[in-house]
């Protein structure tokens, strides 16, 4: 396919956000008689699902302490449910299992899920929680649990398969997708973008949409947007010089056992399990103390990964963001893949949760896994317009599950404002309209 010299809509990134936006924008243009998918070009320096979306754990949940995130995720779950076959979506549910320090937060989430009609069950008290878990999984043995929030919707999806499903939908609407096209810089006419310079030539674009996950900072810098921001705290205090971007190293891997090992008592598919705990974690290999601080893991049986796949809390990359090497990305990175320390902790945590995983650490897949995410100042997404004609989707590593963002962005591009996206404007930092924070050890909860 020849590189066009001009397009009406240029989308950077062929992952969950880029392709969802492309598909839904094509539908919006056609419905409003303002164009079609033939007006849209998606470019990616790798290819379809070549970035974070292609290695994502695939978990889809509503479990957020922040009301705005929760409402946005209801919308996204509905998109996943709209075509589970095309999106390789398994609606097995999701469980947030927590200690007393998180009880109040989890109860608040449960009440607000009830208020918005999102089906879930809250179990409270250590005895009742233990009984509930053992009725589902007979070998459950994690201690110190005082709340279980069982979301009946949600679950997980096959990462690459779902992105190709989106690509097929977009291409069926006439959208063009081009691989090996790397954005190098932008040409401006006043404040607006006039052209996008790539490794294969310049494309004049009427409107640009950025949805490139971990590479958000690179595109942000090309647009000459601020490297540091002022953030007004909830107490009114203004914090100047806060870096716009930081990176976190994601900690995920796979236990190479038969996924069928993880079944419910009645032989059914298990929900995604997420345990946060302040109970000391001891090694399943030698009994040594791994940590006596707050820790958390998530896991699920996954034939796509060939075993029990999941992860633990990420850690912040302390390197100056300007010096962080995002490429090569994911398993190809020499710097940001999980090591033996993660394998030891995660496998021990699995055994802490369920007896069936005791002694299984030798089956951990010693293959490169992991990646990094580009996080905003408050670790929550920014969805906003910059440079007059550039819609920037900065997901702050919440991306894969947020398949519905593309539909809302498409509507906004067509002049239909979204109340669901309003809480995620860039101006919230200066205005102090920040999202509440939880007691979870994860930066995105």
State in words which class domain 1-90+155-234+379-434 has: alpha beta
- Asked if residue 168 has pLDDT above 90, the reply is yes
Q: Give the count of beta carbons closer than 10 Å to the beta carbon of residue 435.
A: 19
Cα distance between residue 44 and residue 213, in whole Å = 12
Q: Output the pLDDT for position 355.
A: 98
List of E strands, 166-306: 176-178, 183-189, 192-198, 201-210, 228-232, 238-243, 246-255, 272-277, 281-282, 289-291, 295-302
Q: What is the phi-psi region of residue 201: left when phi exceeds 0, alpha when psi lies from -120 to 50, beta otherwise?
A: left
User: What does the pLDDT look like over 27-71, one tens digit per residue?
Assistant: 999 999 999 999 999 999 999 999 999 999 999 999 999 999 999
What is the band of 256 on the pLDDT scale with cuts at 50, 70, 90? very high
Q: Output the pLDDT for position 399.
A: 83
- Asked if residue 383 has pLDDT above 80, the reply is yes
Q: Which 8-state DSSP code applies to residue 322? A: G
Q: Output the pLDDT for position 234.
A: 87
Higher pLDDT, 444 or 393: 393
Cα distance between residue 295 and residue 272, in whole Å = 17
- Asked if residue 440 has pLDDT above 90, the reply is no
Choose among 362, 441, 15: nearest CA to 23.
Answer: 15
First-last CA distance in the chain: 42
Average pLDDT over the chain reads: 96
What is the band of 368 on the pLDDT scale with cuts at 50, 70, 90? confident
Kindly list the domain boundaries of the chain, sorted by start residue.
Answer: 1-90+155-234+379-434
Choose among 113, 211, 41: nearest CA to 122.
Answer: 113
Q: What is the phi-psi region of residue 141: left when phi exceeds 0, alpha when psi lies from -120 to 50, beta otherwise?
A: alpha
Q: Output the pLDDT for position 207.
A: 98
Q: Are 173 and 25 in contact (CB under 8 A)?
A: no
Mean pLDDT of 165-172: 98
User: What does the pLDDT look like over 105-135, one tens digit per residue?
Assistant: 999 999 999 999 999 999 999 999 999 999 9
Q: Output the pLDDT for position 334.
A: 85
Q: Give me the numbers of helices (H) and strands (E) for the chain, helices first please.
A: 10, 23
Q: Output the pLDDT for position 438.
A: 84
- Asked if residue 445 has pLDDT above 80, the reply is no
Higher pLDDT, 235 or 86: 86
User: What does the pLDDT look like over 292-318, one tens digit per residue?
Assistant: 999 999 999 999 999 999 999 998 999
Q: Give the count of beta carbons closer than 10 Å to the beta carbon of residue 415.
A: 8
Q: Output the pLDDT for position 223.
A: 98
Calculate what percentage of the chain has a pLDDT beyond 90: 92
- Asked if residue 139 has pLDDT above 90, the reply is yes
Mean pLDDT of 153-173: 97
């Amino acid at each position: 396919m020849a590189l066009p010299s001009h397009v009406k809509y240029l989308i950077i990134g062929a992952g969950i956000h880029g392709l969802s936006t492309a598909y839904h924008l094509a539908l919006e243009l056609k419905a409003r008689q303002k164009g079609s998918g033939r007006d849209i070009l998606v470019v990616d320096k790798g290819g379809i699902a070549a970035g974070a979306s292609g290695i994502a754990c695939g978990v889809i949940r509503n479990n957020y302490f922040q009301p705005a995130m929760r409402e946005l995720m209801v919308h996204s779950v509905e998109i996943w449910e709209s075509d589970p076959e095309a999106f390789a979506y398994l609606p097995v549910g999701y469980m947030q299992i927590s200690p007393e320090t998180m009880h109040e937060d989890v109860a608040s989430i449960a009440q607000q899920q009830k208020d918005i009609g999102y089906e879930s069950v809250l179990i409270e008290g250590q005895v009742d929680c233990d009984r509930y878990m053992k009725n589902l999984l007979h070998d459950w043995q994690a201690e110190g649990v005082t709340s279980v929030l069982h979301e009946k919707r949600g679950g997980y999806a096959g990462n690459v398969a779902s992105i190709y499903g989106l690509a097929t939908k977009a291409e069926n609407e006439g959208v063009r997708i081009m691989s090996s096209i790397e954005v190098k810089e932008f040409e401006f006419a006043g404040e607006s973008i006039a052209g996008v310079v790539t490794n294969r030539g310049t494309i004049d674009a009427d409107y640009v949409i950025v949805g490139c996950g971990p590479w958000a900072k690179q595109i942000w810098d090309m647009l000459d947007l601020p490297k540091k921001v002022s953030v007004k705290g909830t107490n009114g205090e203004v914090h100047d010089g806060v870096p716009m971007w930081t990176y976190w190293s994601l900690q995920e891997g796979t236990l190479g056992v038969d996924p069928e090992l993880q079944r419910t008592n009645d032989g059914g598919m298990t929900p995604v399990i997420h345990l946060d705990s302040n109970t000391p974690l001891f090694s399943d290999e030698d009994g040594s103390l791994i940590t006596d601080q707050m820790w958390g893991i998530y896991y699920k049986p996954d034939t796509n990964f060939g075993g029990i796949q999941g992860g633990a809390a990420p850690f912040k990359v302390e390197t100056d963001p300007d010096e962080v090497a995002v490429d090569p990305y994911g398993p190809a990175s020499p710097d940001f893949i999980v090591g033996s320390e993660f394998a030891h902790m995660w496998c021990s945590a699995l055994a802490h949760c369920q007896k069936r995983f005791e002694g299984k650490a030798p089956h951990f897949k010693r293959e490169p896994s992991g990646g990094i995410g580009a996080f905003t100042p408050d670790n929550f997404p920014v969805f906003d317009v910059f440079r007059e004609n550039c819609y920037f989707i900065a997901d702050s590593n919440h991306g894969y599950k947020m398949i519905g963002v593309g539909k809302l962005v498409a509507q906004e591009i067509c002049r239909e404002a979204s109340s669901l996206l309003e809480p995620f404007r860039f101006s919230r930092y200066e205005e102090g309209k920040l999202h509440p924070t939880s007691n979870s050890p994860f930066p995105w909860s």
